[in-house]
């Protein structure tokens, strides 16, 4: 079995993420104009996630990350206004996990100035996994970890090219 924080294997057991399952189950039964709203509703229903849960996850994750010896100094050096950062991260997770469509920044560009190495992504995933275990249901945990693993794999492959 692959460790839950492994960067190279982002798909949950069974091979389909919750997002893929919702998309497949919806098929052509939803009118194109209603599709995003219906998919978002189903993601919320199946995962049990909402804005309040995402805010708890974001705040708990950063409570862990800010004191982490590897990640803490990076966040301290680059985040001046934590409340703004929390709000931005809730928007990000609501957009990628629940199709909220509120995050319109370039995550790759935001991370480019940092001296990131693969171990930073592994640590981020480990802390994120720990946070999800503390804060959300197993369904939400699987959904968010699947997304986090894809993000980590993408950012690591594009930013850690040495």
Q: How far is CA 143 from CA 75, 93, 98, in A?
A: 25, 11, 10
Place of tokens 């894809």: 150
Task: Give the C-alpha separation, 113 to 111, whole Å.
Answer: 6
Domains, the chain, ordered by start: 49-159 (1.10.490.10)
Residue 6, pLDDT score:
47
What are the pLDDT digits (tens) for 21-74? 655 565 556 555 567 788 888 888 888 899 999 999 999 999 999 999 999 999
What are the pLDDT digits (tens) for 69-120? 999 999 999 999 999 999 999 999 999 998 888 877 778 788 887 878 899 9
User: The pTM is what?
Assistant: 0.79
């Amino acid at each position: 079995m692959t460790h839950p924080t492994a960067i190279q294997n982002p798909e949950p057991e069974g091979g389909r993420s919750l997002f893929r399952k919702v998309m497949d189950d919806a098929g052509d039964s939803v009118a194109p104009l209603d599709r995003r709203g219906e998919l978002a509703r189903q993601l919320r229903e199946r995962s049990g996630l909402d804005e309040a849960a995402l805010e708890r996850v974001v705040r708990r994750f950063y409570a862990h990350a800010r004191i982490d010896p590897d990640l803490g100094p990076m966040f301290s050096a680059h985040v001046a206004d934590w409340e703004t950062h929390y709000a931005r991260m809730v928007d990000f997770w609501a957009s990628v996990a629940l199709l909220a469509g509120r995050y319109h920044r370039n995550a790759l560009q935001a991370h480019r100035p940092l001296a990131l190495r693969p171990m930073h992504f592994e640590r981020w995933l480990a802390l994120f996994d720990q946070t999800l275990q503390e804060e959300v249901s197993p369904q939400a945990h699987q959904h968010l970890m699947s997304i986090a693993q894809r993000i980590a794999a993408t950012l690591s492959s594009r930013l850690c090219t040495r």
